[in-house]
Amino acid sequence: MPITEILARNAQLYGDETALVEINPEFQPESRITWREYSLMQPQPGEEFRRELTWSEFDTKANRFANLLLTRGCRKGDRVAILLMNSIEWLPIYFGVLKAGAIAVPLNYRYTADEIKYCLEKADCTMLVFGPEFIGRMEEICDRIPKIGHMFYVGEDCPTFADSYDHMIRFCSSHAPDVSLTDDDYGAIYYSSGTTGFPKAILHAHRALMHAALTEQNHHGQTHDDVFLCIPPLYHTGAKMHWFGSFLVGGKAVLLKGTKPEWILKAVSDEKCTIVWLLVPWAQDILDAIERGDVKLSDYQLDQWRLMHIGAQPVPPSLIRRWLSVFPHHDYDTNYGLSESIGPGCVHLGLGNIDKVGAIGKAGYGWSVKIVDENGQPVKRGEVGELCVSGPGVMLCYYKDEKSTEEVLRDGWLFTGDMAMEDEDGFIFLVDRKKDVIITGGENLYPVQIEDYIRRHEAVKDVAVIGLPHPRLGEIAAAIVEVKPGFTLTEEQLNDFCAGMPRYKRPRKIIFADVPRNPTGKIEKPKLRSIYCGESLVAQQIEK
């Protein structure tokens, strides 16, 4: 069943109930604003704190946009790019693309103008929807993207090179378009996070989108009464596929524009959120703010909050132990996945396995997993190998990249590039990215293990371990350490702390600096390598 049918069903069953809420804490509300289909009102500062949308309005909005695309010549299988910040318009536009039979192509809001051009061309996009934050970038390239036949602008003061989305959909039919969809039809192209160079275009069928919803709901048991707080960017599979579990049962979702601890807790309190998916830095910030006394839990109504789950990167066990000491009644789950596996859920810890914190878990609902050596043969339990997953959510291919597709798709298995091991109980522990493994003096070092150890220090906010070139050992481990505000930490103190590790695992170099992360919370190690590996090579030349 294509996932568009779930939206039509929700509109029929829960038409007048709230589907989506958008909150922007940077503006203080004088009143609560309800979004309405024919309203041309654009909220002004001081008023746009909260907007909401019913299921009926959601479906109608999606139908109108689908019909607008069709009137502009969009055909089944055409690619329509979405370049928007999180907003109440994002998801109706996404579903409008799907209802038109087109392929949705969400774009990272951090892309430069040239990166946007690259991604539009890579996916063969013919139409684009964009918001006011991107006018400048689109002005740079609008004359250099001839395949884009139509650009729709969401917001006030539409630029001359685009058409006004808000104005045009008012004149389009609110009925669902007569477009037949099947599970095997192409549904979306998601771009890889780009931490390893140019992003790859990941093609998924409608079957994968629906399986993501079924997997998420099976893992976390969302009901119609649950309220999901969505903070990460919707262009990424992580945020959207977690929301799909609530979408499947017609539950309300809250889109929060901001990540400050007090904003997150206030949104949970005001909107009675029951499920929150966090990235590691946000969870750390919440705990740090509580410990510093910057926020007081007694100021918020949090009793209804039942589940905190986390993913998108290796999760430090020390973080979860801290979290459960502050929120002992929370269910907790770790979710592992890739955009190539339609986001989170191909491996998950499971709500009842709190004694296995540190593991990413076992195969998710409808998924199979294996760990293999360099020859593709399964390794023994306790041995490190490459994690492979198989299931209905595996991508069809890297679009227009046959070579890269063949490298990771083999006999129905997706080779993830993540190094992992399985314990005696069948739980999988993520060791590191294959390309991040450091080989020093013939020994394999897995940065995640070193990072987890260093994060136990009370003064450490974040840490990233990378390999630096070394003339004798090949590589040495270097730790880039970000210190918590209000704390001090010296190299000598941290070296003393690391003495608890085996000698060969201890970082040979410590650098105190900020740890960069992308919008989905992953450490940007290529950026760190470009900074520090270059410096290391220069230093070696000076020594010579």
DSSP string, 83-94: E--S-TTHHHHH
Contact present, 360 and 312 (Cβ < 8 Å): no
Q: Regarding predicted confidence, which is higher, 90 or 445?
A: 90
pTM of the entire predicted model: 0.83
Domain with CATH 2.30.38.10 in the chain: 306-433
DSSP string, 400-464: T-HHHHHHHEETTEEEEEEEEEE-TTS-EEEEEEGGG-EEETTEEE-HHHHHHHHTTSTTEEEEE
| pLDDT tens-place string over residues 294-309 | 999 999 999 999 999 9
Is the pLDDT at 224 greater than 80? The verdict is: yes
Confidence of residue 472 (pLDDT cuts 50, 70, 90): low
Alpha-carbon distance of 33 to 22, in angstroms, equals 10
Confidence of residue 504 (pLDDT cuts 50, 70, 90): confident
Contact present, 170 and 38 (Cβ < 8 Å): yes
CATH 3.30.910.10 fits 437-543, yes or no: no
Domain with CATH 3.40.50.12780 in the chain: 4-258
Superfamily classification of domain 306-433: Luciferase; Domain 3 (2.30.38.10)
Confidence of residue 250 (pLDDT cuts 50, 70, 90): very high
Is the pLDDT at 72 greater than 80? The verdict is: yes
| pLDDT tens-place string over residues 381-432 | 999 999 999 999 999 999 999 999 999 999 999 999 888 999 999 999 988 6
What is the predicted pLDDT for the residue at 312? 64
Confidence of residue 104 (pLDDT cuts 50, 70, 90): very high
Phi/psi at 464 (5° precision): -135, 135
Name the fold adopted by 4-258. Answer: Rossmann fold (3.40.50)
| pLDDT tens-place string over residues 141-172 | 999 999 999 999 999 899 999 999 999 999 99
Phi/psi at 308 (5° precision): -115, 120
Domain with CATH 3.30.300.30 in the chain: 437-543
Contact present, 171 and 182 (Cβ < 8 Å): no
